[in-house]
Structure 1
Amino acid sequence: MSELQVVATIPAKPEAADQVRQALQTLVEATRGEEGCLAYDLFESTSAPGTFVTVERWTDAEALDAHMGMPHVADAFAAADGALSGEVAIHPLQPVG
C-alpha cells in the first residue's frame, strides 16, 4: 500500500476570498484528525491571491474517498457556495520516473 499525494486548487472570487479562507481553515482543522490523513496543508497563491491550494498526503485512495464523504467537506463546499470563481480542481498525483 503506497501513500497518495494530492493537490487541490480552489479559486475564490476576489470579494469572497476571506469567506473561502475561513471555510478552508475550518476544513483543515477537521481533516487533520481524520484516519488516513498524513498531512493536510493550506496555502494561498502569492501570484494569484484568492487562489487557495491544499497539499495533502493520505495513506491510500480509500482514505481520500472517505475524506470526500465527510460532513466537514460538505460544510466547506456549502460555505463556499457562490464564492468561487471557477471549479475546484483535485489532482491525485503519481510519481514520474
Structure 2
Amino acid sequence: MSDLQVVATIPAKPEHADAIREALKTLVAATLAEEGCLAYELFESGSAPGTFVTVERWTDAAALEAHMGMPHVAEAFAAADGALSGEVAIHPLKPVD
C-alpha cells in the first residue's frame, strides 16, 4: 500500500494573513509529531500572497482522519474563523495511471 498524499489550500483575508501564517506554523509543528504523519510542509503562494498551501504525506487515510480530530487542528480552524477569504480545500491525491 502506498502513502496518502494530500494538498490543502487555505486562503486568508489580506488583513489576517500574518495571524493565519502564525497559526499554521503552530499547526505544522504539532502535526509533525503525530503518529502516521510522514511529512507536512507549509508554503505560501508566490502568485497569491495570503494563500497558504500544505503538502502532506500520511501513512494512510486513517492517519489523516485521526489528524482531522486532533485538538491542534481544531485550534487552527478556530484561529481561522472569520479570517479566511474562502473555504479551506483539502485534496487527498490519487495517482494517475
Tell me the TM-score range normalised by the shorter chain.
over 0.9
The number of residue pairs the alignment matches comes to 97
Partner amino acid for 2:47? S
Residue 33 (str. 1) matches residue 38 (str. 2):
no
Q: Which runs of 4+ in 1 moved over 6 A?
A: none
Structure 1 equivalent of residue 75 of structure 2: 75
Structure 2 equivalent of residue 66 of structure 1: 66
> What CA deviation, in whole Å up to 9, does each residue of 1:32-73 have, x standing for no partner?
000000000000000000000000000000000000000000
Cα offset, 1:8, TM superposition: 0.1
Runs of 5+ consecutive residues of structure 2 not aligned to the other structure: none
CA distance in 2, matches of 1:10, 1:38: 21
The SS at the match of 2:57 is: strand
CA distance in 2, matches of 1:66, 1:76: 15
Residue 19 (str. 1) matches residue 19 (str. 2):
yes
CA distance in 2, matches of 1:96, 1:70: 30
Residue 92 (str. 1) matches residue 92 (str. 2):
yes
With the length of structure 1 as denominator, give the TM-score of the two structures: 0.99
Structure 1 equivalent of residue 56 of structure 2: 56
With the length of structure 2 as denominator, give the TM-score of the two structures: 0.99
Cα offset, 1:2, TM superposition: 2.1
The SS at the match of 2:75 is: helix
CA distance in 2, matches of 1:41, 1:92: 15
Runs of 5+ consecutive residues of structure 1 not aligned to the other structure: none
